[in-house]
Structure 1
Amino acid sequence: MGDPASPPSVAGKVMAILAAFLPGDVRLTLTEICRRAGLPLSTGHRLVGELVGGGFLERLPDGSYRVGMRLWRIGAQATEPRELRELALPYMEDLYAATRENVQLAVLSDDQALYVERLRGPRSVPIVTRVAAELPLHATGVGKVLLAFGPPELTDRVIAAGLHRHTPHTITDPVRLRAELARIRDSGVAGTDEEMSLGSRSVAVPVRSRGRVVAALSLVTRRHAGDMRLLAPALLTAARALSRDLDAEAGFR
């Protein structure tokens, strides 16, 4: 009998190999890939070699591997994120031009905030997010928006999974989190103050399509950048314009 923890089929093994490349992990060794995929080294070596031959992975001169161009091209065809990103970019670019701060767009994915686009410049505060990264809902501005306007069972699941403390300022009390989500629903604006990473603050607002919140748009600044409430009107204006564009797109769900 095989290892019960190993993926049961060839397709499952291939998916496990590709899933080993988490957001931010640009390069992995064969040993790292096999450990994350739960595969014997011999099996991983054979399948990774086939993926390299097909252009889905790329082997680098130092012997490590990264996602190949063929896989990247396929992933870029994901319809809904691509449409959202393409519609959002002009408004995000306007926000960046006006503020020179980090501008971020995120959607809900597997009870986390999935970042589908980010704009930043040399003067923007360094942040942990990158495109395709997933961050916790309770500790990010975009995540709080998605939590506040999501179904009640989403909040229940996030709380039941545990509110991890990322900094001393992260909200980990369920009662306090529920109260903040209620305030966000009333005001339409969410914020964080050094809750995901020290030295940064954020303000975020919902993006809607046909009355349903489908994404969140945010600005992230340095801790001492000034009154974050002054950024909310520009964000709200951009989010409303993007929401109108989404409503006009018959194919967007």
Structure 2
Amino acid sequence: MSEAKGVEAVERALSILDCFEPDTTELSLAEIARHTGLYKSTILRLAVSLERFGYLVRGEGSRFRVGPTAWRLGANYRQSFDLAAVIRPQLKQLSEATNETASFYVKEGRHRVCLFRHEPPRAIRHTIQEGVSLPLVQGASGKILQIFAKIQQDYGTEEDARVRSCGIAISMGERDVEVAAIATPILSTSGGLVGALAVSGLITRFGPDRQEEMTILLKDYRKALEKMIIC
């Protein structure tokens, strides 16, 4: 099925709003142009409409900031936010993309709990039940939950520092000698740990090339989820 076409002008306007991050409260016209690749004249025309509907506010020196309408929509999103409704579709897509089991774990004391998961239709797969509690000290998702739950950025071993730096942990037969897993953290907009996103399957299917492929996919899905999760 072909991808549905959008409205170019709307997508350009949304690309302007997409420039603003939690640590970027104001942007100049030149900065927006650099981020979006749009001509300054195009940005100014779109900004008129965005200002009119309260999505942008133009301050002194032609610097722009997010307007009250965006805040109102964000407040509505927070009130209606359902973690399962956000996580489950992404797990399904990740599982289909890798043909492996995709799971989301949270930290509970010294254990990790599989909150959500989606398994592929293939006959030989890693089966994990939602709600199962596993040790934190074993598995890729356990490493992620331990390391990213630590407050001190420099706390831990050299391996901890490497995992924190690259945002990826890999385990090969740690909890089950036949199972491998790759995991990445999911962080909230404030930087707090929400959980760990993981792909797991038969260890023989997790060679170097597949590890690289799944690492790229995990990072893509992490980026998408962190834009949607508000907590």
- Pairwise same-fold verdict (TM > 0.5): yes
* Contact 2:147/2:164 (<8 A) preserved: yes
RMSD over equivalenced CA pairs, Å: 2.2
Aligned partner of 1:113: which letter?
R
- 1:222 pairs, out of 175, 196, 202, with 202
Percent identical pairs in the alignment equals 24
> Partners of 1:221 and 1:233 in 2: how far apart?
17
1:241 aligns with one of 198, 205, 224: 224
Equivalents in 2 of 1:188, 1:208: separation in Å? 11
Structure 1: where are the runs of 5+ without partners? 1-81, 157-176, 248-252
Write the distance in 2 (CA, Å) between the matches of 1:122 and 1:148: 32
Tell whether the 8 Å contact from 1:148 to 1:185 is kept in structure 2 after alignment: yes
- Secondary structure at the aligned position of 2:104 is classed as strand
1:173 corresponds in structure 2 to none
Q: Structure 1 residues 112 and 124, CA, compared in 2 at 3 Å: closer, same or farther?
A: farther
- Which whole-Å CA distance do the structure 1 matches of 2:184 and 2:217 have between them? 10
Instruction: Describe the SS at the equivalent of 2:149.
Output: coil
Correspondence 1:212 to 2:195: no
Q: After superposition, give the CA deviation of every residue in 1:4-52 in whole Å (9 maximum; x if it has no partner).
A: xxxxxxxxxxxxxxxxxxxxxxxxxxxxxxxxxxxxxxxxxxxxxxxxx
Aligned length: 145
Shift of 1:212: 1.4
The 3-state SS of whatever aligns with 1:149 is helix
Residue matched to 2:177: 198
Contact 1:118/1:131 (8 A) holds in 2: yes
Q: Which runs of 5+ in 2 are unaligned?
A: 1-80
Q: Output the TM-score relative to the length of structure 2.
A: 0.58
Q: Retained in 1: the 8 A contact 2:100–2:126?
A: no
Task: Give the AA of the match of 1:212.
Answer: G
1:181: how far off? Answer: 1.8
Matched-pair contact (CA < 8 Å) for 1:138–1:144: yes
The residue number in structure 2 matching 1:85 is: 84
Match of 2:118?
119
> TM-score, normalised on structure 1?
0.53
